[in-house]
């Protein structure tokens, strides 16, 4: 006589199998994109760079160009992010955690240096 396996045990078995396979697949996946903090940092840096370049060109050519900074940065930042993400895909998956740690460290360093620079300016900005 054949013994019937209860439905609960079948569901539990397939659920655990799917969970384990999903977990292993995530470990083997490659770093595909920058984290959101990295994308935001790139956007800020591109905007600051484009604004600085346009201010220098405005002074050189005696034209008002700084109004175009946001539009140019909005078009240029995704290109820079895509280029960085293409270079991230070249890194072996073994180093994904290290690369993410370095990216987070760069974001924290840039934010802390920016905050330090802002509060060292004369006069200090008020927080009212």
Tell me whether residue 21 is in a domain. no
Task: For residue 80, tell me if it sits in a domain.
Answer: yes
pLDDT at 126: 60
pLDDT value at position 26?
A: 47
**Rounded Cα gap, residues 56 and 106, in angstroms:** 27
Residue 2 lies in a domain: no
State residue 95's pLDDT score: 87
- Taking the chain (128 residues) in runs of 10, the rounded mean pLDDT of each run is 64 60 50 86 91 89 84 92 91 88 89 79 61
Q: Is residue 6 part of a domain?
A: no
**Does any domain span residue 71?**
yes
Specify the number of domains making up the chain.
Answer: 1
Query: 92 in a domain, yes or no?
Result: yes
Q: How far apart are CA 21 and CA 75, in angstroms?
A: 40
**Could you tell me if 42 and 80 are in contact, meaning their C-beta atoms sit under 8 angstroms apart?**
yes
Q: Give me the pLDDT at residue 124, please.
A: 57
User: In which domain, by residue range, is 44 found?
Assistant: 32-120
């Amino acid at each position: 006589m054949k013994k019937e396996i209860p439905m609960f045990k079948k569901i539990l078995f397939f659920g655990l199998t799917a969970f384990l396979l999903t977990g292993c697949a995530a470990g083997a996946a490659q770093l595909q994109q920058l984290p959101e903090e990295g994308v935001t940092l790139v956007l800020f840096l591109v905007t600051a760079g484009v604004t600085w370049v346009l201010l220098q060109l405005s002074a050189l050519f005696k034209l008002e160009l700084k109004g175009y900074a946001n539009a140019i940065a909005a078009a240029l930042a995704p290109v820079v992010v895509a280029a960085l993400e293409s270079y991230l895909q070249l890194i072996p998956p073994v180093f994904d955690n290290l690369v993410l740690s370095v990216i987070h460290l760069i974001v924290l360093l840039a934010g802390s240096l920016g905050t330090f620079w802002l509060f060292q300016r004369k006069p200090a900005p008020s927080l009212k």
